Amino acid sequence: MHARLGKLRIGPAFMEYTKYQYQLEPTDQTKLLPQPELTDAAPVDKPLFDLPDPKSVVVNRIDLSEAINSRVSVRKYAKKPLTLAELSYLLWSTQGIKQITSRPATLRTVPSAGSRHSFETYLLINNVESLQPGLYQYAALDHKLIQLSVSETLAEDLTKVCSRQVMVKNSAVTFFWAAEIYRNVWRYAERSFRYIHLDAGHVCQNLYLACEAIESGCCAIAAFDDDALSAILGIDGVSRLPVYLATVGKKE
């Protein structure tokens, strides 16, 4: 064992106590406890914005191999805005609901362990046509946007809690993915905490590839102050916790 590994405590403990053997213990699903909601319902007390139907959105046709080969992390963006149709396409590509099965479960455009799909998508809108800058949430069932805040300090505040990485405030939009962890825990117990990180990778890679079809760039970010970010997003950081984020903007 490398000497440095012997000094680590939290990481090895996480890997130990999320081993598959712990998932075999009785779960809330096997106890026949009620299944959690599939996704957040659209609220009635906040502004809702329609998104173009994903089937109607026209994007560049790009070969998958070309998209994979072209994909890089892009940290500098042109000042050109994203269209609402382009944002609709990116949201559909990363969390779009294709079908609700009889289990019930959602079948989406990205894979998720057991189709649990614990992620809720929050958006810092900086430069998208027809949308006021601010903090929004994607209502996946309705394919709409929920406006949460239009505070003028949001872009600066979120940049600060993301290790002052300036592409957060310079992006056209920054995606934040937070896991409603009980959706996974209900079925997978301790193992859930591994699965949400695997699921985050699936979601973000779809975003990278989808950006290639709209001549845009993307940069994933995992460096952030968890508690401070949770406070800005309005989540508790325990039952719903931030996992990953990514900036998006038009390529220079």
pLDDT digits (tens, 9 = 90+) for 62-89: 999 999 999 999 999 999 999 999 999 9
Q: Is the pLDDT of residue 98 over 90?
A: yes
Q: Quote the CA–CA distance of 231 and 148 in Å, as a whole number.
A: 13
Distances (CA, A) of 217 to 77, 193, 235: 7, 29, 28
Q: Is residue 49's pLDDT more than 70? A: yes
CATH of region 3-250? 3.40.109.10
Beta-strand runs (E) in the chain: 48-50, 97-100, 106-108, 119-125, 134-139, 144-149, 173-180, 216-221, 240-250
Q: Is 15 exposed, middle or buried (0-12, 13-18, 19+ CB in 10 A)?
A: exposed
Strand partners, 146: 48, 137
* pLDDT tens-digit readout, 141-174: 999 999 999 999 999 999 999 999 999 999 999 9
Strand partners, 77: 251
**Domain map of the chain by residue range?**
3-250
Gyration radius (Cα) of the chain, Å: 19
Evaluated on CA atoms 252, 86, 110, 13, the torsion sign reads positive
- DSSP assignment letter at 51: -
pLDDT in tens, 118-127: 999 999 999 9
More confident residue, 11 or 23: 11
Q: Is 48 helix (H, G, I), strand (E, B) or coil?
A: strand
